[in-house]
Structure 1
Amino acid sequence: METQLSNGPTCNNTANFESSNTEDSKTNLIVNYLPQNMTQEELKSLFGSIGEIESCKLVRDKITGQSLGYGFVNYIDPKDAEKAINTLNGLRLQTKTIKVSYARPSSASIRDANLYVSGLPKTMTQKELEQLFSQYGRIITSRILVDQVTGVSRGVGFIRFDKRIEAEEAIKGLNGQKPPGATEPITVKFANNPSQKVNHTILSQLYQSPNRRYPGPLAQQAQRFSRFSPMTIDGMTSLAGINFPGHAGTGWCIFVYNLAPDADESILWQMFGPFGAVTNVKVIRDFNTNKCKGFGFVTMTNYDEAAMAIASLNGYRLGDRVLQVSFKTSKTHKA
């Protein structure tokens, strides 16, 4: 499982973005510290809850196709970009606390700053990896490759610095050195070195499977909640014509009842984000007043995480209201 530094030298990191227009800088956002398994559609759904998006891009490794943990969102209205920063910066998503800020123009000095590190101790965590390299500059993203079956580190990792010169200094300082706990010297070099021959398929398989973010005990505990089904709500307006995904192929849909009239999508993101991958949130509003009608839906990718969210949030007091949270079934759509 990835470990996120809660405090330290990487807290103020930003990545780079190609922009030459002053107006663009007011609508273009950089989003750092995204969960590795978060998809571009999930990123778009999260920021689309704030306002209309012109474009959205999740940055991926060119070799493996895996997320590098950051992306860009470009709003149409600068006010929505500002609102997104105020609303979503610091949002907890799974084991990550995301950072949202304005993207800055790119230059040659901040390109190609990704390092490949091998020979790491199998016991080294991502936090320890960042601590080892943070003395050389600002770290944007980091990750350690793990065996897909055992979850054990493969002794290989990646570090992306804010600037290339920082990456160069890290190579000078750490390549061939023995970090704490290591019996052999580590190798540190640029990840995009043309001489580095990598089997794309094998490398992609080294990443931890998104469906194995939690160990067995959590999966067993989640079985306790497999019988949950939405309760009947008297007087609920029919949801005919609203298409919400079920669990077949699209994730697990959760029904949230007793929300306040001023509730919005950002509240649901903040509540459910820490439990796992959220693909979509929806607050049902009154057509005339645009106020929340008291309920909404959250779709999560993984059953275990959805069950844990239900177990934790059902009966949760939000303001002066006690929430009722359960898996959605076809009964939920009936008045």
Structure 2
Amino acid sequence: MNSSGPAYPLASLYVGDLHPDVTEAMLYQKFSPAGQIMSIRVCRDVITRRSLGYAYINFQQPADAECALDTMNHEVIKGRPIRIMWSQRDPGLRKSGVGNIFIKNMDESIDNKALYDTFSAFGNILSCKVVCDENGSKGYGFVHFETQEAANRAIETMNGMLLNDRKVFVGHFKSRKEREAELGAKAMEFTNVYIKNFSEDIDHEKLKSIFSEFGKTLSVCVMTDERGRSRGFGFVNFENHGDARRAVTEMNGKELNGRVLYVGRAQKRLERQGELKRKFEQIKQERIQRYQGVNLYVKNLDDSIDDEKLRKEFAPYGTITSAKVMTDGGHSRGFGFVCFSSPEEATKAVTEMNGRIVSTKPLYVALAQRKEERKAILTNQYMQRLASIRAIPSPAIPTTYQQSSGYYMTSVPQHQVRSFYNTVPNLRPVPRWTTQAPRTQVPNTEPAVHVRGQEPLTASMLAAAPLKEQKQLLGTKRNFSDTIVLFAVGENVSFQKKKVSEAIILLAAEHCSGCVFTVCVLWMG
């Protein structure tokens, strides 16, 4: 940047193109060497709390913010080069276009930093961005200078210059409204005419002879398929606009060989799609206004209610323009719509019919809402509930874990005796149910927690263990009178008898004299 310095004394920076995982802590660690930071805020979605990809950093001193802008712009954080600019909170200044230029036909290798380095010689740059998609650069970008004079110098010098062997166009930035106005003006001066719905026997020569009477033509084209047959449409390009307009006026709707022709101004695909989109939005808005306050939503309908019965139920309250029960495969989905001729009639129907029992079911009747309105209302309700939940202090987290079977399990020290079954009642550390009022519903359960090294002892584990480890597996608890169960697994009976005898001797040696215990051997072969 130039030494003149930017005219933003608030020392607030905008940091864009952030990776979704970048946090305030990461930004603080990155930017704190530049100077004392007052605040950092990563902007997030209000519902999902996901990062929106940009943040604001407020420094205590403007000089520190300028230092960060000069030295850290386009540095990489989590694999993405960041874009830093002065935070301009006034949307009027941002959208005015003053000092903003547009560059197109750029080589794909030019990124934000290369564009910044190229144009920074003409003045202070507030923002610099190459437009990209998932495949990389789209070949155009924007540079916003601090002054209009700097932008003019850049345009005069760089327009038509070669950047990485490509001749670039550099011009003043134009808003969408300005571009659409220019396109509209150019469209009024068209010379290319589109003709469709003519028969297959019309070829280039016949089409040219038909339209050449309106003026000199530069080109005539009949579109054909892969076999060379006419597809029934084509284009005629006239030398001047007046001839083209006269051809459209006189030939559109005219019958040719038993077919009514369509003749109009030729449009590019994007222009045609934009026009169709505008027409669709216009029709949509007209429909919304037409049915505003007169269309009712009716739910909890009995399966026996069809369109006629629905109309009959609501007919006493006014003139019904339409009544429809929504179905799926011929079966009622339990809701429908009734449209009246006036808002007064619809309001009366809501008052009288909401809650009324029709065919054993109480109806819910309300004014129909568009999906956008319902979504906004539900979002607002969700945010209110979320705010109320956050206002309630969370209870202490219990130290026990609840198994899927309803047990509470705490960690067991290694030296204690292990249970052969998880369901032995006298070994459960915590009762299955506490002494409280009976529950009216099944409690929520969490997945069972398995602590490494504390798995239940099985017969296969005992049989496979060496003699020294059997002592540890069976435990060393003393002074008890109990029944001990040993499992013998396998077809080699003599080998298993030997193992059982060793286990009994080991148990006897580990218990104090006078202790009584019973050994039960279960053969599982």
Q: Same fold (TM over 0.5)?
A: no
- Between structure 1 and structure 2, the one with the greater Rg is 2
TM-score of the aligned structures, taking structure 2 as reference length: 0.24
Q: Which one has more relative contact order, counting CA pairs under 8 Å at least 6 apart?
A: 1
Q: More helix per residue: 1 or 2?
A: 2
User: TM-score, length-normalised on structure 1?
Assistant: 0.35
